[in-house]
């Protein structure tokens, strides 16, 4: 089997099914057709006894996957939102299919791994980080929230590190990913070709053999401060804790949060609080789809994309502009379940 589109390369090599993201000019950001292609490949290989392992990586160019097609989402959100909802619906089906896939799937997170890149790598049984890995969920900076399962993965990190990452969009390096369990293995980038060539021998054995000790995970030095400063699920209390702390870390973090959307920071905190108690990943996806369907049409997302991606003035005017201005009622509206006929459902 070999299937090549402009943006996705799908092929088999012996016992390995290979999915290669191929949008180098967009740092391999996902669009709806790419998600559909991944779903189709996983479905075909699900019953193919010759395919024992699936790998996901990127073709030419830097970065593994920079996220989703943000411009399309904003253009759709400014109109009727139909195309944006279709993307989320398909992407989340892909995320869920990877999460529940019976065969071993290996993601090679070599380079930028953000947003949708986190969503396509974290459900995989094996997640390989390198010295090039830069993993982040930076969505609050454009008035979005850490979706694609962010409420599930981030809420299961040690202490309050997930809340810190969700609100600040902080970038983790490969060593930090390994220490936090977001990566199962740390390999030098120079070993990836060998790993991919030998992966059909059994991912666990091959990756264990080629893995090296990761450098020190710098974020762990701030673990106590993060747990203390981000202890609350109320954004106002996080701000108050940061304002009361004169340390460089607290003040730098506070300055970062003041650039983010208060509305979607509150959405993110609730997402992680709810996500920690979700019974299944499908439940998580269903909630995130309802939230995403609404957030993508709200002011802060359209304004965030304008400021960061279109005009690049990096001066978004959030509305409301402060945490206090975002009412519980608004958050409840954003999180309300969709009617059954509109709700997200897993792939059959």
Active-site pick, 67, 68, 119, 169: 68
Does the annotation count 147 as an active-site position?
yes
Cβ atoms of 124 and 107 within 8 Å: the answer is: yes
Helix (H, G, I), strand (E, B) or coil at 149: coil
In angstroms, the CA 133 to CA 185 distance is 12
151 is catalytic: no
CB atoms within 10 A of CB 22: 18
- H or E stretch at 288: helix 281-295
- Phi and psi for 54 in degrees, rounded to 5? -115, 135
Cβ proximity of 58 and 105 under 8 Å: no
> Hey, what long-range contacts does 245-252 have (CB within 8 A, 24 or more apart)?
249/222, 249/225, 250/225
Task: Tell me phi and psi for residue 11, to 5 degrees.
Answer: -150, 160
Q: Is 20 helix (H, G, I), strand (E, B) or coil?
A: strand
Q: Is 68 a catalytic residue?
A: yes
CA distances from 321 to 13, 83, 123, 318, 345 (A): 53, 28, 35, 5, 35
Catalytic residue, from 69, 91, 104, 147: name it: 147
Q: Choosing from 37, 116, 149, 169, which is the catalytic residue? A: 116
Catalytic residue among 139, 173, 288, 303: 139
Number of H helices, E strands in the chain: 16, 10
Q: Return d(Cα 241, Cα 231) in angstroms, integer.
A: 9
DSSP secondary structure code for residue 3 in this structure? E
For residue 280, which of 229, 236, 345 has the smallest C-alpha distance? Answer: 345
Q: Which active-site residues does the annotation give?
A: 68, 116, 139, 147
């Amino acid at each position: 089997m070999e299937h090549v589109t402009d943006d996705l390369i799908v092929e088999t090599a012996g016992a390995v099914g290979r999915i290669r993201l191929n949008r180098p000019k967009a740092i391999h950001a996902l669009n709806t057709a790419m998600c559909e292609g991944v779903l189709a490949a996983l479905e075909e290989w699900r019953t193919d006894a010759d395919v024992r392992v699936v790998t996901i990586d990127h073709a030419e160019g830097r970065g593994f996957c920079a996220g989703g097609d943000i411009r399309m989402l904003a253009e759709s959100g400014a109109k009727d939102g139909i195309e944006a909802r279709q993307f989320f619906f398909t992407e989340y089906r892909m995320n869920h299919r990877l999460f529940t896939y019976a065969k071993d799937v290996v993601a090679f997170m070599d380079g930028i791994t953000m947003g949708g890149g986190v969503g396509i790598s974290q459900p995989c049984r094996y997640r390989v980080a390198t010295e090039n890995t830069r993993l982040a969920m930076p969505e609050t900076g454009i008035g979005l929230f850490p979706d694609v399962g962010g409420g599930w993965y981030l809420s299961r990190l040690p202490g309050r590190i997930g809340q810190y990452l969700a609100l600040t969009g902080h970038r983790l390096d490969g060593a930090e990913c390994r220490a936090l369990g977001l990566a199962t293995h740390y390999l030098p980038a120079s070993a990836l070709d060998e790993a991919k060539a030998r992966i059909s021998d059994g991912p666990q054995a091959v990756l264990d053999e080629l893995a090296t000790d990761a450098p020190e995970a710098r974020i762990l030095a701030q673990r106590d401060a993060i747990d203390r400063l981000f202890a609350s699920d109320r954004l106002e209390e996080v701000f108050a804790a940061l304002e009361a702390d004169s340390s460089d870390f607290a003040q730098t973090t506070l300055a970062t949060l003041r650039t983010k959307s208060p509305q979607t920071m509150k959405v993110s905190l609730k997402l992680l609080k709810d996500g920690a108690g979700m019974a299944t990943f499908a439940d998580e996806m269903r909630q995130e789809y309802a939230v995403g369907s609404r957030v993508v049409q709200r002011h802060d997302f359209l304004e965030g994309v304008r400021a960061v991606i279109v005009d690049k003035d990096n001066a978004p005017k959030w509305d409301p502009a402060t945490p206090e201005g975002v009412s519980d009622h608004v958050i409840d509206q954003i999180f309300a379940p969709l009617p059954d006929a509109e709700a997200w459902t897993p792939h059959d």
